[in-house]
Amino acid sequence: MVKLLPCPNLTLMTNFITDKYLGSWYEVQAQETVFQRIKSCQMGTYVMEGPDAIRVDATGFGSDGSPTSTTSVLKIVDASNPAHMVTDFVPGVSPPLRHPGH
């Protein structure tokens, strides 16, 4: 069963510089989630894909210890505030920009 909860009211980072976000990022260990196949030793490479999208190519190890990889996309929602992004946690499936009820 999935229960929708209200979204928290978050303050986005001001003066976000997209170019400084690009490149390689490392994650030693991930929390247990259904949408993230890579559980440990993740390396994500963030590359600009046009003016409003960032492709993330990630490699690492799954929960059974086998090598795995994923590709996902971060979409910049508002060019005047590039810190506001959404992602396709399940590759190929984009979430709605607004939570139902908001």
Kindly report the number of other CB atoms within 10 A of residue 95's CB atom: 12
Q: Which residues lie closer than 8 Å to 30 by C-beta, 6 or more apart?
A: 36, 38, 39, 40, 42
- Report the CATH number that the domain containing residue 41 is assigned in CATH: 2.40.128.20
Domain assignment present for residue 62? The answer is yes
Domain assignment present for residue 96? The answer is no
pLDDT the model gives residue 5: 81
Domains in the chain: how many in total?
Answer: 1
Domain assignment present for residue 4? The answer is no
Residue with tokens 């001001």: 14
Domain assignment present for residue 99? The answer is no
Domain boundaries, position 35: 18-87
pLDDT in tens, the chain (102 residues): 778 888 788 888 999 999 999 999 998 776 766 667 778 888 999 999 999 999 999 999 988 889 999 898 999 998 899 999 988 766 555 555 544 444
3-class SS letters over 42-78:
EEEEEEECCCCEEEEEEEEECCCCCEEEEEEEEEECC
pLDDT the model gives residue 20: 95
Q: What pTM does this model have?
A: 0.73
